[in-house]
Structure 1
Amino acid sequence: MTRSALLTHQTSAHYADTLHEVVERLAARVASVAAPFSGRPRDALARLVADVDLDDAPVGEARALREIDAMFVENAVWFHHPAYAAHLNCPVAVAAVAAEAVLAAVNTSVDTYDQSTVATFMERRLVGWTARRIGFDGGDGVFTSGGTQSNLHALFLAREHALAVHGSGVLTGAERASLQQRLLVVATQGSHFSVQKSALLLGLGEDAVVTVPTDGDGRMDPAALTMTLDVIARTDRIPMAVVATAGTTDRGCLDPLDAVADACDAVGAWLHVDAAYGCGLLVSPTRRHLLAGIERARSVTVDFHKSFFQPVSSSALVVRDPADLARTGWHAAYLNPDDAEEPNLVDTSLQTTRRFDALKLWVTLRALGADGVGALFDRVLDLAADVHRVVDADPDLRLLARTDLSTVLFRYQPSGTSDAEADRLVPEVRAALLASGRAMVAKTVLDGRPCLKLTLLNPDATLDDVRGVLELVKTEGSAHRRRPVEVAR
């Protein structure tokens, strides 16, 4: 690699020229996007990538960037397009995108103070701000790569707390292993899959995640939780943590946090609230009350790259008691010795080298204000409420569940269509829309039956935009419904 290929003071002009060209080309793409996806077939995309010889002679920056434009940008999924309504992906704040360019160019790593200096204080300030929004006066936390890591980190802290409380002093390996097999995590079927994955990674028993029944809207049943915790106590197991969800992935519903906290307090169980999706309510001017009781949790997951409209990645784990984070501590003489006077964020993180993702949120809050971000989230929640009414009134569509946030679960099922036929149509409709690139919806399973899912996180999308997506669903559903079924020979 030649010296001129790196960003240094000698290449600052080259850096500016290159970035300006890329930004202009990308801006033109954003302005001209006509569909959320190109619709290019999967095998064609695979060939497009396989045909590039990464061991071939270099082609130079200009050609390499044009190649990326044709290969990646042209075939990317565009979350800002109003016909994208599949997963928990959002269009991003322009201020945050600009901040992303800054942090990439500076390349700060916030693991130690001597690599990040002022960035350390900025992240800590944002963590403190988030903690106060939750209701954790004096709380602490750390930025993470996403909700999965935040949930893993929270359950790690809960595990270490449980071992300390129920163990007798310093545990031997055998004692620790034996006690650990008694630990249970209590959640609902609507909890994020990372709860089960975390239990596996933390070395808990195969039956370590206990499922609590929910009410008709998919929320944790507090009475069932109390009964579950009582059974756990009578079987000599330990409720290491109860995971409540403030915004389930499929239904977008919020568990009754105050009632769940009552049940946890009665037995001294660690309450973790996964608010990866619903954290936007922390700044909502109209719906903050939906998170009542979150301040009683011991730890909370927030995903700013969902409902704060941040580029991936931007997430955090926030704890009520800063002492809990000390359980993550690990000191290395060359990096963060235990006698260091400097504030080293690696002391409380599962990661070492870590991007300064907090910068994006900092700039967004300064540019738009917390109320401004909250108003954007309110817009998608208002849109979802309108879409629910539209779907419920459409004779060809069947609304399957209500939501507290911005998901819509439904099926194409005109009068006279059997459940079995509607089941068959769900994946076919989704696949047809993806193949065309015209719209993107997700599919999931609710109460044992497949269904289509809209996840609305675009504040600029209108009801007419979503009506257009629903019309495409109906068109594809009708076409596949009329298609004759081949008889096996």
Structure 2
Amino acid sequence: MDAKLSHDLVGIEGVLTRTLDHALDVLDRIDERPAALAPTPVTPQPLPEHGLGFDSAFDDFQKRWAPGFSGSAGARYLGFVTGGATPASIAGDWLTSVYDQNPTAGIDSAAPDLERETIARLRELFGLSNAQQGVFVSGATMSNLVGLAIGREWLGENCPNRVDISEHGVGMLPPIRVLSGTPHSSIYKALSVLGIGRRAVQKIATLKEREAVDLDALETALERFEGEPVIVVANTGTVNTVDFDALPAIVELKSRYSFWLHVDAAFGAFAALSPDHASLTRGLDGADSICIDLHKWLNVPYDAAVQFSRRRDLQVRVFQNSSAYLGVPTDNPDFVHLTPENSRRLRALSTWFALAAYGRDGHAEIVRRNIALAHRLGRMIAEQPGLKLLAPTRLNVVCFTLAEQPDEARIGAYMLAVRDLGDVFITTTVYAGTWGLRVAFCNWRTGERDVDRIFQSLVRALG
């Protein structure tokens, strides 16, 4: 065994103790770390011929890289709809690496069954029926890709000459129409990967001053494309204004028109945990496939998302891996037959710990608090000269802009000015043709004092 590796094996307690001490110091001082900061150049170092050993490697990390890491785990990192990591989920993530399970197949470990239990608990959390079969993937983009891939297979099954797309390819279908009011950018990416193409998206008119799809316009499009392969992508929480499509009405359209209904509920699904907003998620169970991102509002470490579908048989047809040592799919298929990955880490463990430790009530409290904080900041911005809301604060995202000349250059400069103050990180967007900014509340640590500090920073950045 290599001498440095042998040394670290014998001294594993010291390795983990030093790592723990550093982790505790980072978390204890997370409030002091800039929410975000401009990356500073770091001179790349070549691969060492002879390893440094853990202690020297750790010294190098602390000196060259750690100072440039943002406070993204903290209370005021409010860009990209990013959660933090709760204590129990951090423990689960550490144990994921310690146990290093590959839950590909169920012949050597109980790990796949832990994932199945976690999926069942998530179904309960979101009020879904057992018809929705789930699997863990890396994030919302992969969840959307998997759902759309199953939808692509369904289109082949329902075309006049019944084509097995997984065997013969998407070229056997006529052009696919993807209808959506406000599709997330990851939908376009997934369609590109799947060979359907970004131009397959047909944007449907939205309601006035809303991001929710106009149901009459959607039905008109379904009538126009009747008999053609169609996927409808509905939104349960848009990124700019957290608007919700009327899912019950869209599900009802399935009784009259043939289409695959995929719902992008990346973070909006968590509205189900708020009594005042749970009605927004009604109809979610009627979807054919669902995307929910867990490293957003569930506050588990990257990367973790769940993908639900009613057609596990088609999912297996798309993703099955034919190999003697992996076996054939059964009625309870191994995960190797359900996602693009073969090897995969037990990313369900962090979620299992989070759900077990804090339950429905703990996560519902985070959701309710974040919503209340977003509304509070929205009211403060509405009353501040120099700033104005671009849309009502519906859930946990505040969408606003500069009161004067909100063009790309000024908005970009303002975002950087806010970032460089170090108190809060927000991201830019375009809403209804106007450049603006988004403040997305998802972090379990965020409280009222943080909102005061955030607002003060937004005002200071005005100059």
TM-score (norm 2): 0.91
Aligned to 1:26: 23
Summarize the Cα distance change of 1:31–1:386 in structure 2 as closer, same or farther, 3 Å threshold. Answer: same
Aligned to 2:450: 465
Structure 2 residues without counterparts, runs of 5 or longer: none
Q: Percent identity?
A: 22
Cα deviation code 1:272-325 (max 9, x no counterpart): 111111132344455322201111111111111111111011111111343342
- 8 Å contact from structure 1 (residues 39, 435) kept in 2: yes
Q: More helix per residue: 1 or 2?
A: 1
Shift of 1:94: 0.5
Summarize the Cα distance change of 1:4–1:279 in structure 2 as closer, same or farther, 3 Å threshold. Answer: farther
Shift of 1:6: 7.1
Counterpart residue type for residue 155 of structure 2: A
Aligned to 2:325: 335
2:63 equivalent among 37, 61, 70: 70
Structure 1 position 112 matched with structure 2 position 105: yes
- 8 Å contact from structure 1 (residues 35, 439) kept in 2: no
Counterpart residue type for residue 5 of structure 2: A
Shift of 1:454: 0.7
- 8 Å contact from structure 1 (residues 191, 245) kept in 2: yes
Counterpart residue type for residue 316 of structure 1: V
Structure 1 position 412 matched with structure 2 position 397: no
Structure 1 position 88 matched with structure 2 position 88: no
Q: Which moved more, 1:155-164 or 1:254-263?
A: 254-263
- 8 Å contact from structure 2 (residues 288, 310) kept in 1: yes
Within 5 Å, give how 1:28-427 maps onto structure 2.
Answer: 28-37=25-34, 41-42=38-39, 45-46=40-41, 48-50=42-44, 52-55=45-48, 57-115=50-108, 117-132=109-124, 133-169=126-162, 179-188=172-181, 190-205=182-197, 207-215=199-207, 216-233=209-226, 237-239=228-230, 241-338=231-328, 343-413=333-403, 417=404, 419=405, 424-427=409-412
Shift of 1:455: 1.0
Cα deviation code 1:239-273 (max 9, x no counterpart): 1x111111112222221111222223320211111
Aligned to 1:435: 420
Q: Which moved more, 1:121-130 or 1:278-287?
A: 278-287
Whose radius of gyration is greater, 1 or 2?
1
Cα deviation code 1:161-197 (max 9, x no counterpart): 1111104245699986554342111112x32111111
Structure 1 position 449 matched with structure 2 position 442: no
Shift of 1:327: 2.4
Cα distance between partner residues in 1 of 2:296 and 2:85: 9
TM-score (norm 1): 0.87
Q: Which moved more, 1:281-290 or 1:315-324?
A: 281-290
3-state secondary structure, aligned to 1:267? coil
- 8 Å contact from structure 1 (residues 284, 371) kept in 2: no
- 8 Å contact from structure 1 (residues 251, 402) kept in 2: yes
Summarize the Cα distance change of 1:436–1:71 in structure 2 as closer, same or farther, 3 Å threshold. Answer: farther
Summarize the Cα distance change of 1:388–1:69 in structure 2 as closer, same or farther, 3 Å threshold. Answer: same
3-state secondary structure, aligned to 1:369? helix
- 8 Å contact from structure 1 (residues 131, 319) kept in 2: no
Summarize the Cα distance change of 1:174–1:334 in structure 2 as closer, same or farther, 3 Å threshold. Answer: closer
Cα distance between partner residues in 2 of 1:436 and 1:287: 34
Cα distance between partner residues in 2 of 1:5 and 1:380: 45
Cα deviation code 1:105-146 (max 9, x no counterpart): 11101111134x211111112223333434222431210011
Shift of 1:411: 1.8
Structure 1 residues without counterparts, runs of 5 or longer: 479-489
RMSD of aligned Cα (Å)? 2.7
